[in-house]
Structure 1
Amino acid sequence: MSTSYNRIAYEALEVCNGVTMDAVEAAIGRAKPTPGATAADVGAGNAAVAIRMAEVFGLKVTAIEYDPVMAGLARERIAAAGVDVALAVGAAADVLADLPPLDLITALGTTNVNGEGRPTPEAGFAFLKTRLKPGGHLLWGDLVWIAEPPAPLRQIAEATNQYTDDTGWKDSAEAAGFEVVWSEVSPQDVFDAYAAAADTAARDWLAAHPDAPEAATVQAVADRVKMVLEFGRPFIGFGLYLLKAKA
C-alpha cells in the first residue's frame, strides 16, 4: 500500500497527537537537554518532533517508526529539513535494545512500546526506563481517560494499547522508577482541533482520489476513528508527562 489513513492524516498535522508542538517543545526544555545529548523519538510518525529536537536543542536523535508507509513520510520530512536525524524502521523494543542508554526518549501515542503486545502502563514505563541513563528523561504522551468510559468504548480504544486516567499514568510512572517532573492534559479544544484536522485531511484525500486502490481502507479507518472520537469526546483526552529516571 502506497498510502494509508495515518499517512494522509499525519501529513496534515504538526504533531501526530492531541497536543501542540509548543507544549512538546516546552516540556523537552524542562528537561534541560544539552547539545549533543542522545535522544530517540518512538513512533516518530511524520518526524516533526524528532526534527524539532535536533533543530532547537541540538540533540543527536534517532527517529523510530514501525510502519513503513509512515517511515516514508518521516524520511521525506527529515531530508527536507536537512537535519542530522537517523531514521530506524522497525519495532521500538528492538531498535531501543540496540541503542546505548539514552539521555532522552520521547514517546507520544506509541503502540506496543516494549514488544509485548498490549503492555500495561507499568510495563511500558519499566521497559523504557531500562533504555535511559540514570537521570535521563522520558517525555510520554498518550490517551487519558478524563472520565470513566463506557465498556464498549474502552474495548474499542484499547484494542492496541491499555490506557488509564491522569492519576493512573503518574502512579504507573512512579511504580516503574520515575519521578514525575511535570504533566499536563491538553485543553479539549486542542484535542478537538487534532481530531478535526485529521478527519478533514482524510475526507479531502478521498474526494480527490475516489478510485484509488486504498480508498476503501482509508474510508473505513476514517469513519471508525471519527465515530470513536465523537462518541468518546466526554471521556478521552491527551496527557503529556515529563518523567525522570531515578538512579
Structure 2
Amino acid sequence: MRDVVTEAPGTLEVRGLSIAHEGKVLLDVPHLCLDGPGPTLILGPNGAGKSLLLRCLHGLIQPDRGRVCQNGVLLNASHKARQAMVFQRPVLLRRSVAANLDFVLKRKSMPRVQRKPRIDDLLAEGGLDGKARQPARSLSGGEAQRLAILRALALDPETLFLDEPTSALDPSATQMIERMVLRASAQGVRIVMVTHDIGQARRLATEIVMMQAGRVVEQGLARQVLEAPKSDESRRYLDGGLVT
C-alpha cells in the first residue's frame, strides 16, 4: 500500500442507490462516501456489482432509486465534465495514436500551438512516444489501454474511473499501467478503480471498497481491510474461498 501524498477533490457520495432487473437486485447501496486522497479500489467477486457502481458514480447509468452527489450537489453535467472513465476494453478512434489525443485536446478548446507539445508529453508519459503516427487500432492490448488512459488524462479530470484496466494484460503491461495510475494519483487525480486482483489492491490502494451481491460489505483503509477484514464476506474473499 502506498502513502498518501495529496488531497483528493471533493466528496463523492451515494445515498439510497438501488438497481433491479426482473425482480433481482443488482445494486443496493444505502450509503457510500468517497472523500479521501489516494486510489480507491473496488474489490469483489464477479457479479458483485463493481462495474455497475462505477457507471453510476460516473453518471452513465441512472439508478432506479437513490442519488449520486458531488460535494453535496446532485451529480450534473458540470461534475461529469471533470470526470473521465476508461473501460476494460479500450475504445479507440480510427486514426493515429497522436490524433486520438489531438481529438480530445481540440474538444477542450486547447489552441493548436499548445496541442503538439501536450501530445508529446502525454505520449512520453505512456511510453508511446515512438508510435505517434501508428494507427491506434493496431496497438497491442497493453499499448491500447495506455493510450485510453492517456486520452482520459488529457481531459485533466478531477476523478478518473478505471474498470479493470489490466484484467487481460500480462505482468509487464500491468506494471506500466499501475505506474501511470500511481503517477496520476500523486498529481492529484482521484482514482476509483475496479479490480478482482487482490495483489493489485495491495500495490495500489489507499482505500478499499469491498462488494458482494450488489452490496458494499466493507469500506476502509487498504491496510486495515486487507490485513484485518471486519466482515465475513471480505474474509472469505480475501482467503480465496468461494463467494457467491
Which one has the largest radius of gyration?
2
* TM-score exceeds 0.5: no
- Could you state the TM-score of these two structures normalised by the residue count of structure 1? 0.30
- Could you state the TM-score of these two structures normalised by the residue count of structure 2? 0.30
Where relative contact order (Cα < 8 A, 6+ residues apart) is larger, the structure is: 2
The structure that is helix-richer by fraction is 1
